[in-house]
Amino acid sequence: MLLKLRKDDRLERIIRGLEAYGAEKGILFGSSARGDADHWSDIDLIVIKRTDKRFLDRLADVIEAIRPDFALDVLVYTPEEFERMREEGNPFIERALQDGVVIYEKSEK
In this predicted model, which residue has the larger pLDDT, 37 or 98? 98
Q: What is the pLDDT of residue 9?
A: 84
pLDDT of 32: 87
DSSP one-letter string for 47-82: EE----S-HHHHHHHHHHHH--SS-EEEEEE-HHHH
96 pLDDT band (50/70/90 cuts)?
Answer: very high
Indicate if the pLDDT at residue 8 is higher than 70. no
Mean pLDDT estimate for the chain: 91
Q: Give the model confidence (pLDDT) of 71-94 as tens digits.
A: 999 999 999 999 999 999 999 999
Pairing type for strands 43-48 and 72-77 reads parallel
pTM of the complete model: 0.89
Q: From 3.40.50.720, 3.30.460.10, 3.40.50.2300, 3.40.120.10, which CATH number describes the 10-105 domain?
A: 3.30.460.10
